[in-house]
Amino acid sequence: MPYHVLKPASVALTAEQLKAIFKEQDADGNGRLTREELRKVYEKLGSRYPDWRVRRSLSHADTDGDGSISLDELDELVKYVLKLAQILVIEKMPLYVPKSASVALTAEQLKAIFKEQDADGNGRLTREELRKVYEKLGSRYPDWRVRRSLSHADTDGDGSISLDELDELVKYVLKLGYTLH
């Protein structure tokens, strides 16, 4: 199964996105995540110690003590992983997201991605900075997307996107349906 690599700290996953990733890894489709399935998820999430993470996950979320995580226990597992994700970001570890998970980006995640590309920190996204965002999002035609973005969100016509115009840009990009990759 192909995987995309997210650069460290580029996007924080939401609880729903994590649930989708875990559910996808239920290889036999029985609604339970075994130790092996959990280990594979942690490997893909970039854990240095996936077996240890599995044991910790089971101690946090396996409320019925059967050695696996059921759909009923998934919320507790996700809470644990969200806490873990904060640690992973601090450690600057890469995060791997299954390509087939099709986890849609949220408005907050898109804003963070756009702000991250403001290379000079002036609060404005230039054409070049916008192009880098679209490349990162996997656009086939990043230059065309930049032109469309400016026509949708550049209300003052200066050829860049200010922080005031960012919400309009995010609304436009959300309609395009980009996913984590």
Domain boundary residue among 59, 85, 101?
101
Q: Both 86 and 123 in a single domain?
A: no
- Residue 155 binned pLDDT confidence (cut-offs 50, 70, 90): very high
Over residues 70-90, the mean pLDDT reads: 76
Question: Where do the DSSP E strands lie in 54-176?
Answer: 69-70, 95-98, 124-125, 161-162
* pLDDT (0 to 100) of residue 85: 65
Q: Is the dihedral of CA 99, 38, 77, 31 positive or negative?
A: positive
pLDDT surpassing 90 at residue 96:
no
In this predicted structure, the answer to whether residue 88 has a pLDDT above a threshold of 80 is no
Is 181 within the bounds of a domain? no
Specify the number of domains making up the chain.
Answer: 2
**Residues 90, 126 within the same domain:** no
Q: What pLDDT does 138 receive?
A: 83
**Do 124 and 55 sit in the same domain of this protein?**
no
Which distant-in-sequence residues (6+ apart) come within 8 Å of 136 by Cβ?
Answer: 10, 113, 117
Range of the domain at 130: 107-176
* In a domain? residue 59: yes
The verdict on 32 and 78 lying in the same domain is yes
pTM of the model: 0.53
Angstrom distance (rounded) from CA 115 to CA 177 = 19
Examine the domain organization and report whether 129 and 92 are in the same domain. no
Are 113 and 81 in the same domain? no
Domain boundary among 82, 101, 120: 101
Residue where a domain terminates, one of 101, 131, 162? 101
pLDDT band at 159 (very low <50, low <70, confident <90, very high): very high
Task: Collect all residues with Cβ–Cβ distance below 8 Å to 61 and sequence separation of at least 6.
Answer: 69, 73, 74, 76, 77, 79, 80
Q: Give the model's confidence band at 66: pLDDT under 50 very low, under 70 low, under 90 confident, else very high.
A: very high
Q: Is 167 inside a domain boundary?
A: yes
Q: Is residue 74 within 8 Å of 64, Cβ to Cβ?
A: no
The 8-class DSSP code of residue 108 comes to H
Is residue 26 in some structural domain? yes
**pLDDT over threshold 60, residue 95:** no
Q: What is the CATH number of the domain that holds 155?
A: 1.10.238.10
